[in-house]
Amino acid sequence: MDPGPASRPSLAERWESLKPDLERLYLAEKLSLAKVMDTMKQAPYFFDANESQYKYRFNKVWGWKRNISASKKQKINEYCQSRAQLGKPTTVFYKGKPVDDRQLRRQAKKATRMKMTLAAPEIPAFPINIFGDVSMHSPSEHASPPSAFSKELRNTTSIQRAHLLLDGNYDKLLKNLDMSEKETLSKWLYQYWYFSFKTAKHWGRGPRAWTARNLDFGRNILSLDGPSPNTNANSPAGIFHSSVNSLENWNDHRTHVSNIPNPSQLCRWSIHVFQSNYEAVSSPLPQSPGSSAEENPEHFKEWPAGWQKPPFEQRLRDNFATNDFSDFKAEDLSISIGTVAKAVEHSPGVLFEEALGFAIMGRNPILVEELLQQWTEEESDISSLYPLHLAITYLDGSRACCQIFALLGSFSDRKALDKGMLINGLGHTLLDNLFIAILRNHSSTPPGAVDDAFNQDRKFAGDEIDICGRWDADSDCYRTLVSLGKSTVPFEWRHKFCHTSIQAVCHCIRSINLYFPLDLFKESGLYIKRCFSCGEKLQLTPFHALVITAFFLGQYRTRDEDLFGMVCCLLSLMAVERYRGREHLNLSSAVAVSIPMLLDTSDGVACSHEEMSPEQLGTKLSAFQVGWSPEAERGWEVIINILQEGKDARKFNLREGVAPFLSDRIKNQESFDPTNLEPEDFQELYYEKPDLVPGYSGICGVHFFFDEYRVFGLNNILGHLWAAVQTELLTYRRQDQDKSWYSAYLDLDTVSRSLKHHVIYRK
């Protein structure tokens, strides 16, 4: 019996019978859908279906996706980058089949273009499994050389790391670096900081360009904890400071500081007073990193005309691109310096801020003045730099003294008030920063004792600069320290709060009064506590903060510390307060203070604070002195007696105290305001352009307003002490380590007796 014609397969069966050929054409050979359709119409298939049918069958029924989705490719790339950071090459399989590197490379390039901004992209951790249909394998050691995709991944990774650096995301950056990469990056960041510092410090003299060769990076620097941060954390150099500082912990176990040349114990100094005849004594030469005359900054020659082009900020920018300052090749770094260079190029405001920051840190008054002139013309926002605080952090009594601060004050007195630059991001006033500078330079006070925000810090900012000029960031002793992987200055380098430092700090107090008088009487941002029991915020006045600072200077003292410097600071603060006849603050003001919390002995249960005046605080703190020398105890007693004497002193009548050499026009004014003095009101007054040579002579503006008045009125004891202090600081420096810290004309025992008995004793 004839079975009849064979039944034709259904359409579904026809699709299934053709599936192997369709998979080969579409997925393996990667023919376009149009070509697949055309092929299937020909022999031997003679199969005809429309485009919608093909797409439905491929995508919905069989789940074919020849192109991996962009989101999935992005996640695959991110995971590959994580493996690349560990030095592992990767082969990707999708649904059991190897993925074409070209797809992933195109996606990586696209993602890179999309992320060429300052925002840091996410770099995920190591997931166990990102997708069930994606698997990763490391090729065998006999595989081909790295593919273009692998190279693109490394490039993308270095770009993303650059973004992390620029964004200040150091923790995430460090997690994505191995030990070798951390070491290389820390050295490179230090080299950039050092190049910028040297260029700023010597701008106008010496080499026209500082490169890896004349920066002497041939030393075997093990690794670095780097110079301390003090610029805006989201600006290039500020990031480099902070990131270098963040790299310190991992290196501690590798190095041991030994055989480091100690700096001289003799201070350097600068003289800047009214033009007068006096017998000048030259300051000792600084410790120089160079041995030959050409390398010694003391012998640097002024630049010829034209050498100042290109300008300072452009040189900082250009060196990101050229990398001339470093002995590391750009390709050996774990970050893309090209990305950093582009970010800087497109951020002129940030670059200018950094240029000014380095000029301040280099204590170069001419460069600072040039940049400030530019600032007034271009109206760049430098508020996040906190330039006034930065100038105090890098205070240098041996070169510029208060000149950098005065320059900033003269240019920014109004803008600083408008921009909120007088209190920094930590809530510290300008006076607070001076107190920090004293403790940093002349004691072993732990940073956390000053501010709870510093609890995790091992050093204060600005440690690479000594106020009295005995070491600098480019001194041989400090560079040797850095070459051993350290930058925290040994305690043995420090000495007592000396005349050079005292003069610089006291002049800054007076300069603050001159340009920002109300800032001196804001509540301090240091030593703030909050009662565990009642929740009251315990915040001190400037005089209370000075007493605590003096106590810590004595408690964590260096050898020979006798607190004379804090006596001078107290007198200066009292002088400017009385000088303007203010009612904002007096020495009788009492605030809530917790001594147990300040000394970290509180049980954290009951209230431990009580109302105290500065004098009462000092008296109570006397019971907590541990192992103080007789000299330090005497100095502490003098401070308490001055506070007591100052409370009872009569208000100063300014007219009675006008100096005799002021013009008759000033003396006869109905209302005399010393802040409105004109240059012609002074005799023999002159202005000398500051010289870049360390130890330059130039007048100090604070002498105009303070040294010519009886700021303590009719109180002869404080008046005589004030005069003696000014004379001592102006005329004496120790020139031999075996000599006394004081001249023969100042005797602190006599000062103490005079204050105690309210009688002026003669030595």
Give me the chain's average pLDDT, please.
Answer: 75
> What predicted TM-score, i.e. pTM, was given to this entire model?
0.73
**Sequence-ordered alpha helix ranges (H) in 222-364:** 236-246, 312-322, 337-345, 348-361
User: Both 528 and 599 in a single domain?
Assistant: yes
Residue 384 lies in a domain: no
Residue 237 lies in a domain: no
User: Both 622 and 722 in a single domain?
Assistant: yes
**Residue 645: predicted pLDDT:** 86
What is d(CA 153, CA 593) in angstroms, rounded to the nearest whole number? Answer: 58
Band of residue 129 on the pLDDT scale cut at 50, 70, 90: very low
User: Both 48 and 80 in a single domain?
Assistant: no
User: Both 54 and 83 in a single domain?
Assistant: no
C-beta of residue 475 within 8 angstroms of C-beta of residue 260: no
Give 602's Cβ-side CA count (13 Å radius): 19
Residue 345 lies in a domain: no
pLDDT tens string 249-297: 444 433 444 567 888 888 887 766 655 555 666 656 555 444 444 566 7
330 has a pLDDT exceeding 90: no
Q: In this structure, which amino acid lies at residue 537?
A: K
User: Both 91 and 169 in a single domain?
Assistant: yes
**Residue 695: predicted pLDDT:** 35
- DSSP letter (8 states) at residue 57: I
**Residue 81: predicted pLDDT:** 58
Q: Over range 721-728, report the average pLDDT.
A: 89
User: Both 137 and 169 in a single domain?
Assistant: yes
User: Both 745 and 603 in a single domain?
Assistant: yes
User: Both 534 and 630 in a single domain?
Assistant: yes
User: Both 740 and 606 in a single domain?
Assistant: yes
387 has a pLDDT exceeding 50: yes
Residue finishing a domain among 175, 200, 224:
175
581 has a pLDDT exceeding 60: no
652 has a pLDDT exceeding 80: no
**Residue 279: predicted pLDDT:** 61
User: Both 733 and 585 in a single domain?
Assistant: yes
Q: Over range 727-738, report the average pLDDT.
A: 86
Residue 560 lies in a domain: yes
C-beta of residue 347 within 8 angstroms of C-beta of residue 288: no
User: Both 634 and 528 in a single domain?
Assistant: yes
| Least confident among 97-111, 353-367, 647-661, 674-688 | 674-688
| Least confident among 549-563, 639-653, 734-748 | 639-653
Which domain does 542 fall in, by range? 524-652+710-763
Closest CA to 427 of 527, 572, 513, 552: 527
**Residue 360: predicted pLDDT:** 94
Residue 427 lies in a domain: no
Residue 442 lies in a domain: no
User: Both 44 and 156 in a single domain?
Assistant: no
What is d(CA 76, CA 74) in angstroms, rounded to the nearest whole number? Answer: 5
Give the chain's domain count: 3
Residue finishing a domain among 175, 201, 219:
175
pLDDT tens string 476-509: 888 888 888 777 899 999 999 999 999 999 999 9
Residue finishing a domain among 27, 61, 95:
61
Give 414's Cβ-side CA count (13 Å radius): 1
What is d(CA 477, CA 265) in angstroms, rounded to the nearest whole number? Answer: 13
**Residue 646: predicted pLDDT:** 81
Residue 609 lies in a domain: yes
The residue count of the chain comes to 763
Residue 394 lies in a domain: no
C-beta of residue 191 within 8 angstroms of C-beta of residue 212: yes
